[in-house]
Amino acid sequence: MRCDQLAAVAPVRQFTNCRILRGGTLLREDLWVRGGRILDPEKLFFEERRMADEQRDCGGHILAPGFIDVQMNGGFGVDFSRATEDVGSGIALVAQRILSHGVTSFCPTLVTSPPEVYHKVLPQIPVKSGGPHGAGVLGVHLEGPFISREKRGAHPEAYLRSFEANAFHDVLATYGSLDNVRIVTLAPELDRSLEVIQALTAQGICVSLGHSVADLAAAEEAVQNGATFITHLFNAMLPFHHRDPGIVGLLTSDQLPPGHCIFYGMIADGIHTNPAALRIAHRAHPQGLVLVTDAVPALGLGNGRHTLGQQEVEVDGLIAHIAGTKTLCGSIAPMDVCIRHFLQATGCSVESALEAASLHPAQLLGLEKTKGNLDFGADADFVVLDDSLHVQATYISGELVWQAEEAGP
Residues at the annotated binding site? 143, 154, 211, 232, 235-236, 243, 272, 328-330
Classify residue 223 as exposed, middle or buried by CB count within 10 Å of its CB (0-12, 13-18, 19+): buried
Residue 335 and residue 343: Cα distance in Å, rounded?
A: 12
Provide long-range contacts, Cβ within 8 A and 24+ apart, for 193-199.
Answer: 193/146, 193/163, 193/167, 193/222, 194/221, 194/222, 194/225, 195/167, 195/168, 196/146, 196/163, 196/167, 196/168, 196/171, 197/222, 197/225, 197/226, 197/227, 198/225, 198/226, 199/167, 199/168, 199/171
Residue 157: CB atoms within 10 A of its CB come to 9
Binding residues for substrate: 154, 235-236, 243, 272, 328-330
Residue among 69, 215, 269, 294 flagged as catalytic = 294
Residue 95 and residue 106: Cα distance in Å, rounded?
A: 8
Binding residues for Zn(2+): 143, 211, 232
Distance, CA of 101 to chain centre: 13
Known catalytic residue at 294: yes
Q: What is the DSSP letter of 99?
A: G
Peptide bond into 145 cis (omega under 30): yes
**Catalytic amino acids?**
294
